[in-house]
């Protein structure tokens, strides 16, 4: 009993001594807030408040000085100048944006349709000039100097960069496998069973083609080499109705199905679907689509 009490006392003292160290460890591991963040929000809020006060003061000043600004705007020496048109925006005259509206009829008369002699809006004219300048710069940069990439080259570069971001793993659709065809009766029998269960509803019991293409001819939509067919079965074809069998069949089962389809080349089943895709030599036609 005495030894047990001494052991308990020792354990309690050890825990009490370790408590401050544990507290310090917890405090050290706790995430600390960035001290600069509150200062940044304070500066942004202050800036927005100053801008709001300035805008209110500016609007109030314009409203208070509007009669004097109108008198200044009506002066002949000011009215038709560039600065006068800017001043006109403050007193309600939008000539700078809308252009001159003279409402003067021209002599043109087309089936009762009359034409007014009005200027094009300045914003339209400025936009047209900027468009012409942009077109000259674009042609010079992309087609004359050939400094920038056109859409096709830019797309190819982005696809190469995207391919580098995908890890080269067995589930990488951009990395082609290096399998060979399975030729043993047992493997082909397993492939036939899997094909009958999973593939026949779309490709037919003899692979003659139904919704999916005929798999017994020399024509292939996505490549007839065994590894191309393996890839098509595993990852499917988006938008074409070919589902991805990855996760439903193992890698070996997919290879068994591809090898079985290879064994059907040239069997010419009844009611075969017309060829689809590109023709490949029988020596290269080693797998399914």
**Structural domains in the chain plus CATH codes:** 62-98 (no CATH), 105-144 (no CATH), 185-279 (1.10.760.10)
> If you ran DSSP here, which 8-state letter would residue 220 be given?
E
Q: Tell me how far apart the alpha carbons of residues 219 and 274 are, in angstroms, rounded to a whole number.
A: 10
Using the Cα atoms of residue 268, residue 274, residue 276 and residue 278 in order, give the sign of their dihedral: positive
Predicted local confidence at residue 158, as pLDDT: 87
Is pTM beyond 0.75? Reply is no
Please give the pLDDT value at position 280.
Answer: 80
21 pLDDT higher than 50? no
> What is the average per-residue pLDDT within 223-251?
89
Which residues are within 8 A (CB) of 163 and not within 5 positions of it... i.e. 6 or more apart? Answer: 174
How is 67-132 classified by DSSP, letter by letter? Answer: HHHHHHHTSHHHHTSHHHHHHHHHHT--HHHH------EEEEEETTEEEE--PPPHHHHHHHHHHH
- What distance in Å separates the CA atoms of residue 261 and residue 192, rounded to the nearest whole number? 8
Q: Return d(Cα 78, Cα 109) in angstroms, integer.
A: 37
**Complete DSSP assignment for 133-168:** HHHHHHIIIIIIS--S--HHHHHHHHHHHHHHHS--
Q: Answer yes or no: is pLDDT of 284 > 80.
A: no
- What is residue 35's predicted lDDT score, i.e. its pLDDT? 66
- In the predicted model, is pLDDT for residue 5 greater than 70? no
pLDDT band for 33, please (50, 70, 90 cuts). low
Q: What is the mean pLDDT of the chain?
A: 79
Distance of CA 47 to the CA centre of its chain: 35
Distance CA 73, CA 95 (A): 12
Report pLDDT for 283: 46
Of 78-87, 132-141, 200-209, 232-241, the one with minimum mean pLDDT is 78-87
Model confidence at 23: pLDDT above 80: no
Strands 219-220 and 113-116: unpaired
């Amino acid at each position: 009993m005495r030894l047990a009490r001494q052991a308990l006392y020792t354990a309690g003292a050890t825990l009490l001594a370790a408590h401050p160290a544990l507290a310090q460890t917890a405090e050290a591991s706790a995430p600390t807030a960035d001290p600069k963040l509150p200062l940044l929000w304070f500066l942004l809020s202050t800036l927005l408040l100053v801008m709001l006060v300035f805008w209110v003061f500016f609007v109030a000043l314009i409203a208070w000085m509007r009669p004097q600004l109108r008198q200044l705007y009506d002066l002949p020496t000011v009215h038709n100048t560039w600065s006068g048109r800017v001043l006109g925006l403050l007193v309600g005259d939008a000539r700078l944006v809308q252009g001159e509206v003279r409402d003067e009829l021209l002599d043109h008369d087309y089936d009762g349709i009359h034409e007014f002699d009005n200027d094009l809006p300045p914003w339209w004219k400025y936009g047209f000039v900027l468009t012409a300048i942009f077109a000259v710069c674009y042609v010079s940069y992309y087609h004359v100097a050939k400094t920038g990439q056109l859409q096709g080259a830019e797309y190819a570069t982005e696809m190469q960069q995207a391919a580098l971001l995908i890890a080269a793993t067995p589930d990488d659709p951009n990395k082609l496998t290096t399998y060979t065809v399975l030729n043993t009766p047992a493997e082909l029998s397993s492939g036939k069973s899997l094909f009958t269960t999973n593939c026949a509803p779309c490709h037919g019991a003899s692979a003659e083609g139904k919704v999916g293409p005929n798999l017994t001819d020399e024509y292939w939509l996505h490549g007839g080499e065994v590894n191309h067919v393996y890839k098509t079965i595993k990852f499917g074809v988006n938008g074409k109705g070919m589902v991805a069998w990855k996760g439903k069949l193992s890698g070996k089962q997919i290879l068994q199905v591809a090898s079985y389809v290879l064994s059907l080349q040239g069997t010419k089943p009844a009611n075969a679907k017309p060829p689809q895709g590109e023709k490949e030599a029988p020596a290269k036609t080693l797998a399914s689509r």
